[in-house]
A and B are shown apart, each in its own frame.
Chain A
Amino acid sequence: MTKTRSPIRSNVGLKAVMAVTGILLVLFLIAHMLGNLKVFTGETSFDHYAHWLRDIGKPLLPGVWFLWILRTVLVVAVVAHIWAATVLALRARAARPVKYAHRKKVRGSYAARTMRWGGVIILLFVIYHLLDLTTGTLNPVGDPGNPYGNVVADFAPERWYVTLFYTLAIVTLGFHLRHGAFSAFRSLGQQTPRGERRARTAALIFAVALCAGYLVVPFAVLTGLVS
């Protein structure tokens, strides 16, 4: 038998791609969440932090190079993650052409069952989120020089539907990470029952902590804690 395909295209390889890209995105999510929490340190500090993000790497890298390198890495990770997920989803569909007449729900967990559609929801949210707070297109203020003002205007009480959508997206993300974080360890070779229990617990705690970290900002604005 001769090798006719790259190991990356195997079912195991694709999952490794999803795990590695997922971990990269999770690292970004952690940094992003910690950055968000700067909003509690006041307007000057938050804006200063936001402007500093554009200057990382100076004077080693000119201008906003670091930012664009980071963005490139993230886009590559997102595309690879979705590519692998799509190939696997298509294979899964092809693997069972005739459906069961009587089918129970997946017992594993709600999170495991909703990975694919949850991922789609998260992608739609990310697109909206970029148009909202990166380009400012959909933001009521949309002033790149005033990120604090953008955030406060975004989650104002009269724009409750924005907060609602944000909350739904973050909760979806939480479920995605609850299964995804454990699954990443497994895909990369986590192999003992004790390690599995630890990985599952760690994934749950991490997902809840990340959700809380992200949700505290809009609710602080909503309740007037940040204004």
Chain B
Amino acid sequence: MNLTLRIWRQKGPEDKGRMVTYPVDDVSPDMSFLEMLDVLNERLILDGEDPVAFDHDCREGICGMCGLMINGDAHGPQRGTTACQLHMRQFKDGDTIDIEPWRASAFPVIKDLVVNRGAFDKIIAAGGYVTAPTGSAPEAHSTPVAKANADAAFESAACIGCGACVAACPNGSGMLFTAAKLTQLSLLPQGQPERYTRVIGMVDAHDEAGFGGCTNAGECTVVCPKGIPLNTIGRLNRDYLTATTKGAGNTPGS
């Protein structure tokens, strides 16, 4: 396959940045998208040019590091798939592919396609944990969990924090991420003691980071590589409204 790539190149956070066109020849349909970028980078290095910076780590679709806006689709055209697990057979010979970084004020571009997703860490730090006694794992039967709750919590826990939800959201909202990180705890008994302080803390951190608000447009859940459902945000809304009307305190983690 011969492809034309239009890639966002930006030397650093202060650089203005622009789309640059690169032809890439002899791409195997069995390559992953990132392997295709590796091929391009090897050529750029041999030519003495600056290789394209992009985030990646496990390349198994579970670490959440990779994230590219491919032809306006977060993680590319295949649903339920991270960019690293996307294969070139999804494209046709002669295609032009636009590759851009996640666009959000909360995710400033560090270089080329790499963005700083530290804002997600701040949301987690504001309440995405439980104050549980440490030690050996407790006997599983000692704390019964309803099957439906366990399933829903697991669904949320599948979030890898890649940021595709923010990238795809027309409002640049990080609500799907925040809701997933919230409900994986709030649905389980272990998460109950801090349930209402957690939600206030995490929503505050979300808003402070400069993410937009959710308008239930549903873009996030379409591109989410882990298929976190949109109704997760409803759970967040309910917890937030309960927490604020109850006056459940405003010190996260207390």
Q: Which residues of A come within 8 Å of B, CB atoms?
A: 1-3, 7, 10-16, 88, 91-92, 94-104, 106-109, 112-113, 115, 179, 182-183, 186-193, 195-196
Contacts and interface: CB of A to CB of B under 8 A. Distances in A.
B211 A95 contact: yes
Contacts of B201: 1
B229 interface: yes
Interface in B187-207: 200-201, 203-204, 206-207
Contacts of B236: 12
B234 A190 contact: yes
Contacts, number: 148
A92 B244 contact: no
A77 to B, nearest CB: 19
B214 A11 contact: yes
Given A92-B213, A182-B216, A186-B233, A11 B103 contact: no
B218 A188 contact: no
Interface stretch (B22-30, B47-55, B165-173): B165-173
Contacts of A15: 213-215, 237
A96 B172 contact: yes
A96 B237 contact: no
Interface in B152-188: 170-173, 175
Contacts of A183: 215-216
A193 B235 contact: no
A101 B19 CA distance: 8
A175 to B, nearest CB: 13
Contact of B100 (A14, A102, A107, A112): A102
B207 to A, nearest CB: 5
B212 A88 contact: yes
Contact of A2 (B69, B98, B250): B250
A12 B217 contact: no
Contacts of A94: 105, 210, 212
Interface of B: 6, 8, 19, 69, 71-73, 98, 100, 103-106, 126, 170-173, 175, 200-201, 203-204, 206-207, 210-219, 222, 229-231, 233-238, 240-242, 244, 250-252
Nearest to B222: A107
Residue of B203, B211, B218, B236 most packed against chain A (CB within 10 A): B218
Given A193-B231, A196-B231, A1 B252 contact: yes
Contact of A88 (B171, B200, B234, B242): B171
Contacts of A190: 231, 234
Nearest to B172: A95
Nearest to B216: A183
Given A12-B237, A95-B211, A179 B72 contact: no
A100 B100 contact: yes
Given A92-B170, A92-B215, 4 more contacts: A92-B213, A101-B6, A108-B222, A186-B231
The 10 closest A-B pairs by CB, nearest first: A189-B238, A95-B172, A11-B213, A92-B171, A95-B212, A191-B234, A7-B244, A102-B98, A92-B212, A108-B218
A96 B104 contact: yes
Nearest to A7: B244
A115 B216 CA distance: 11
Nearest to A102: B98
Given A12-B203, A16-B241, A96-B103, A191 B250 contact: no
B170 to A, nearest CB: 5
B110 to A, nearest CB: 14
A201 to B, nearest CB: 15
Contacts of B104: 95-96
A188 to B, nearest CB: 7
Given A11-B207, A196-B231, A107 B251 contact: no
